[in-house]
Every structure is written in C-alpha cells, then in structure tokens.
A and B are shown apart, each in its own frame.
Chain A
C-alpha cells in the first residue's frame, strides 16, 4: 500500500466516526498534498480555516470541550510552531488546570515537508518532533514512518484517551511500504 493511500484510508475511517470534524488549511480547497487524502471525508465535516494557526488550535480545543473529536490539520510542522501557546500552554495543560474536569481530545495532523524534487528551504521542511516532545508534558508525538505506521498510529489515536500529534513525511507519499 502506498503511504498516501494509508493516509486516505485512515482519514476516511475517521470521517465515519460520528463526532469527528476536520479543520485546517487545504481541507476543502486544494493547495497541499494532504488535500487528496481527505477525499473520503464528507464535505459537511470539513472546515477550511484561515491561516491562523493559534486560532485553529484554540478552536479545536473548544470544539473538543463540546464533545467533538477534531482532526486539526497543519500542512507543515513549520506552521504548527505558530500555535504553540494553544498547544503547549492550553491543550496540553487543560486537564491538569481543571483537576481532570476537562479532558479535550484533539488529533493533530501535521507533516515534515518534502525536500525532493523541490527543496522549499529552511522554513518549510523542518523536523520539530524533538522540540515538541520536550515541550509537551501530556500529549504524545508519534511519527508515521511507513504505511503500516500510518494505519496503526491513527487506529491507536482513535482509541487513545487524550490528544495526540501525528507527524507524517511528505517525501514518503508515493512510497510503497
């Protein structure tokens, strides 16, 4: 199975869960390779967000407080860094801040940008997994390094009781694994 097909399968399965909702950039309109992996998700479950990463992460937490399971999509990990206040100071700490009363669950999907055949330079292809793992005390960061890894990670993420960050590699999209 191709890596991108595993992502499409995982998104389609998530889209079949009652309370899921997908938000981010290139969700409804094309613009990133991720867009094509969402073709199996019903349109009414997709919210195209403005480029406002902190707003998007906060909205994701708020939707989760009201019972939704947001799949919050940031096409590149470099862009995810723009929402650190909401990710590190809020989503990661809300359960602790509220003594367990609020336990918002958000599945955060992001990617490490491809460098082949076009290298976008230092702002669009960074691997910040180590940085995130140091900053997040309660939210795990899982790297999806193969098709099987994608399928397994999303299956576990669905059952996991808290939020997770799932990182994919755009350079692997056409790989069979």
Chain B
C-alpha cells in the first residue's frame, strides 16, 4: 500500500503543478489525514467499491489506482471527477451525492450474493444532509454491505460546521469516521495563479 510520505509527496507535486498554471480546473488537495486513511484502507480489498467526494486524490491512490493515472486525470482537469471503473472507484462532487448510489451498488451485491462491500466517504457537513441519513438508515435496516466513513475536518468549504449546525457531532449510528485538521485550503493551493 502507498505510504504516508508518498501520499504527501503526491499532493505536493500536484500543488506545484497547479501553482505553475498547468492544471486548468479546480483542485481539492488532501492532507493531514494520511494515517487515518491508511488504517481504514487496510480493510478495503481490490474488489470492493469506493465512493468518494470532490477531495478524492488520497482515496484513489489508496484504492490502488496508479499514481501516474491519477495525476494524468488531474492534469486533464478532472480532479473533481476522478472515476476509474477498472478499480471500482466512483466520485461525485455534489455534497452527499454518492450516498444513495453507493447504497444501490451495495443492494446489487447483496442480491447476487457477492462477498465484496462498498465504502462511501463523506465530509462532516455532508453527514448532516438528509440524503446521507436516508442512505444510512436504508442500508442499515436492509443489512447492505456498505460502510459510510465521515471525514470530519470541521469545515464545509470555509464554513465552520459547528457555526452552521451547532453541536453537529451527532452522527447516525451506522457510520464510522475520523477527525483531522486539513493542511491545505478548501480549494486550490492558497496562492494566486496567473493563468495565461
């Protein structure tokens, strides 16, 4: 499995490419959650599905997508839509948008008696969305093979989640998650880039 240092180096490389004006689309860099994700992905097998978000670089790398392929897609302007069918990796950049789709995949797996499972990652504000709650409840009550992972960095874009929701760390009882402090801005690389 890819290491913490390799994950951080990958994002640093992407950051430099963005600052050089080489990427003509928004990027959402990961960072500060390497150890937590590595721990979670130890349980993810190649045949599992992973559903991700706008911040999906680490998820794709940890799912086993080759770094050069992930970088190719990012350089092509598709950081927000990293999708790799061969690796059963799916991304939506609409908040909580993946949740019911992931439930549908889990339902299909259960109906055909498959042994693989689905992992669905969401942010802390997405975890407050109605569709997340519906998805968790439906999946739980129907014993579908899916785990929802809440990645709690205390922000949605730049809005502190507790300022918008109040005491928000009340998650549905069928998900798991972790907390971390992000080391990059919500979007792009924190410096002005002159795109000529």
Contacts and interface: CB of A to CB of B under 8 A. Distances in A.
Contact of A58 (B91, B112, B131): B131
A101 B103 contact: no
A135 B112 CA distance: 34
Nearest to B86: A101
Interface in A54-71: 54-68
Nearest to A47: B107
A21 to B, nearest CB: 8
Size category of the binding interface on chain B: 20 to 34
B138 A52 contact: yes
Interface string B91-129: 110100101111111111101100000000000000000
Contacts, number: 88
User: Chain A: interface secondary structure?
Assistant: helix
A119 interface: no
Name the residue in B85, B91, B104 with the highest tally of chain A Cβ atoms < 10 Å from its Cβ.
B104
Nearest to B130: A54
A137 B57 CA distance: 28
15 contacts: A54-B131, A58-B101, A59-B103, A60-B104, A61-B104, A62-B101, A62-B102, A62-B103, A62-B106, A63-B107, A63-B108, A65-B108, A86-B101, A97-B81, A97-B91
6 closest A-B pairs by beta carbon, nearest first, are A62-B104, A58-B100, A66-B108, A98-B83, A59-B104, A101-B85
